[in-house]
Each structure stands twice: as C-alpha cells, then as structure tokens.
Amino acid sequence: MADETTQKEALQVAYTFVQRDYENLEGGVVAACREVEGEGGPSGSSVTSRLRSLGGRVAERLKGALCLGVQKTLSVVSTHYIINLEQLATGYVVPDGDDHATIDAMDQADAGAEGAASTLARLFEGDLFPGAEDNEDEDERNEEGGGS
C-alpha cells in the first residue's frame, strides 16, 4: 500500500508542476492579448486574433505533453509495481479528517516525490517536446555567433 501511495504522490507532484506551468503560460498569453487590445487594436484585429489562436495551440500542445508525460510515468511505475491504474487515477489517498490534515498529507507527498518527478521529466523531455534540444542548440549558436 505504501508503494502505491508513493506512486500516486509522484504522479500528483508531476501533474501539479505541469499544471502550474500551464497556468503561468496561459496567464502570460492572456496578458499579452490584453496588452495588444489596450494599445488601440480592436478585439478582432489581426494581431489579437493571431495571439489568441497561438495561445489555443500552445495550450493544446501543453495538454498533449502533459497527457504523454503522465502516460509515460504510469508506464514506468507499472514496470516496477503491480498496480490498479483505475484506482490510481482516483488521486491522493489521504486520511479522513480535517482539511488541514488532508492538505498537509498532500503537500508532504508532493515534496517527497519532487526529486523523482524531476528525474522522470528530464528522462521524457525529448519525447514530450521533440526538437526542444535542437532549438536550444540553435539559440546557443545564435548567441555565440551574433545571432540571426
């Protein structure tokens, strides 16, 4: 049971970090759209429409990356342990009681799984964001050579 709980906690931590990044990105896109509108562009302007469209595509790519990341994490966990994935999908297993105890248990689980989540994220990075390394290498070359 403890291993199953640890697995659930690791998955929840990974999900929490990705969700937080998604929300931050979404907030940035919304702020950028508002800024463009605030500069005198009508809401149907070409720039505003393009930013909204881009935001939607980015959100869809992030959702896809999140789903693939969770799927790969579950695959790794399932090669180490015999687990019931349907039960695992129900979320945290926390003691019944007051909300503070529940939140504390979830926070403790998140903190305990942070290292494993980071390691798995690095392991899956190429699969989740194909071409990201190529883009980083290109950016470094541009910075070193004066950029294009």
pLDDT digit string, tens, across residues 41-83: 455 556 667 767 777 778 888 888 888 888 888 888 888 888 8
What's the pLDDT tens digit per position in 9-28?
788 888 888 888 888 888 88
At 64 the pLDDT is: 82
For residue 148, what pLDDT band results from cuts at 50, 70 and 90? very low
Range of the domain at 46: 2-144
Token reading at 23 = 């929300």
In 10 A of CB 89, how many CB atoms? 11
Total domains in the fold of the chain: 1
Q: Check if the beta carbon of residue 47 is closer than 8 Å to that of residue 37.
A: no
Distance CA 121, CA 108 (A): 20
- Residue with the bigger pLDDT between 80 and 137: it is 80
Residue type, 39: E
In degrees to the nearest 10, what's the CA dihedral of 69, 72, 76, 82?
A: 110
- In a 3-state reduction of DSSP, which class is residue 83? coil
Percent of the chain clearing pLDDT 70 (strictly above) = 72
Supply the pLDDT for residue 6: 79
CA distance linking residue 70 with residue 105, whole number of Å: 21
